[in-house]
Amino acid sequence: MSSTTHKLPATKCPACGRTNNRSSAVEGVDPTPPEPGDVSICIGCGSIGIYTADLGMRAPTMVEVSELMRMPQVVRAVRAWHQAFDGMPSRL
């Protein structure tokens, strides 16, 4: 399955500080770039972030984390990141 990658303004992960400047759909092909309020997973650390109005990244609130962890697509994406990257040297 292919994925569409979108180039974005460079932003830092609120958890690990990694600079990220691209986004890709987690499942399937999504031709639309992310919008404020959309969810992202840092490729460097696997933490969840929320896109801001300027497509920067902020940490989710505790309420948002609780809501996100009830969303099957988000849970699958976080698990997939950990299966792919846990135990590997840091990619920072």
Q: What is the pTM of this model?
A: 0.81
48: buried, middle or exposed (CB in 10 Å: 19+, 13-18, 0-12)? buried
Output the pLDDT for position 33.
Answer: 87
Domain boundaries, the chain: 5-85
For each of the chain's 92 residues, which pLDDT tens digit applies? 456 788 989 999 999 999 999 888 776 666 788 999 999 999 888 899 999 999 999 999 999 999 999 999 899 888 888 888 876 654 44
23: buried, middle or exposed (CB in 10 Å: 19+, 13-18, 0-12)? buried
Question: How distant is the alpha carbon of residue 54 from its chain centre?
Answer: 16
Rounded CA-CA distance 35/80 in Å is 23
Rounded CA-CA distance 1/79 in Å is 19
